[in-house]
């Protein structure tokens, strides 16, 4: 097995791990929704979509055999994470300034009109408000944790790919 094949295998394992983590985060959100009765707002649901897309692209990327195709899916992962940063950042801002609505009247029908809201309403249908204060976890709100998670993906995926590919040269 060549050194390049081994290094690309490492990237594939990172992508599988990232996909599993994203699915676990969605599972945690569903637990909080169902068991702790914390209703998801439009921004929460959009963050779930970002996590789901990251997981899907990570798993597809992990199945790719060439460096170029692997890179395409790693770029898609980072693009989805940047979208997650934008949504989670706005959510954090909304929680700090509750007078600024999350636009529940505007966003709710749009988010509820997306296909997954009809296929899996429990996980992807809006049921709450963005400025509802839920108890923090280890001192941070859920929106802050989501923001930190998306930022980590945006930073770590390119960093790990860069370091891995540099060793190939």
Question: What mean pLDDT, rounded, does the chain reach?
Answer: 86
pLDDT of residue 147: 96
Percentage, residues of the chain above pLDDT 70: 91
pLDDT at 167: 61
Q: Which residues contact 95 (CB under 8 A, 6 or more apart)?
A: 130, 131, 133, 141, 143
Output the CA–CA distances (angstroms, integers) from residue 153 to 24, 33, 59, 77, 138, in the order listed.
15, 24, 15, 8, 20
C-alpha–C-alpha distance, residues 89 and 33, integer Å: 21
CB 111 within 8 A of CB 46: yes
Cα separation values, 77 from 81, 152, 164, Å: 6, 12, 17
pLDDT digits (tens, 9 = 90+) for 156-168: 999 888 887 776 5
pLDDT in tens, 90-109: 989 888 887 766 555 677 88
Q: Are 70 and 11 in contact (CB under 8 A)?
A: yes
Cβ–Cβ < 8 Å for 102, 42? yes
Buried b / exposed e across 69-96, counting CB within 10 Å, b at 16+? ebbebbebbbebbebbbebbbbbbebbe
Tokens linked to 136: 């923090």
Question: Looking at the DSSP assignment, which residues form a beta bridge with residue 137?
Answer: 140
Distance of alpha carbon 71 from alpha carbon 11, whole angstroms:
10
* Higher per-residue pLDDT: 137 or 30: 30
Strand locations in the chain, DSSP E? none
Listed in sequence order, the DSSP H helices in 35-141 are: 42-63, 67-96, 104-112, 115-119, 121-124
């Amino acid at each position: 097995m060549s050194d390049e094949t081994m290094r690309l295998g490492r990237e594939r394992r990172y992508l599988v791990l990232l996909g599993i983590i994203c699915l676990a985060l969605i599972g945690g959100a569903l637990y909080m929704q169902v068991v702790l009765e914390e209703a998801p707002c439009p921004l929460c649901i959009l963050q779930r979509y970002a996590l789901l897309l990251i997981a899907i692209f990570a798993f597809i990327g992990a199945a790719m055999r060439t460096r170029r195709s692997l890179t395409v899916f790693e770029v898609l992962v980072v693009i989805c994470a940047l979208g997650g940063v934008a949504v989670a950042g706005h959510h954090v801002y909304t929680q700090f300034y509750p007078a600024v609505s999350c636009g529940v009247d505007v966003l709710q029908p749009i988010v509820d009109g997306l296909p997954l809201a009809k296929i899996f309403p429990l996980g992807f249908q809006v049921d709450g408000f963005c400025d509802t204060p839920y108890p923090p976890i280890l001192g941070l709100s859920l929106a802050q944790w989501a923001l930190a998670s998306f930022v980590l993906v945006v930073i770590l995926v390119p960093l790990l790919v860069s370091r891995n590919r540099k060793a190939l040269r």
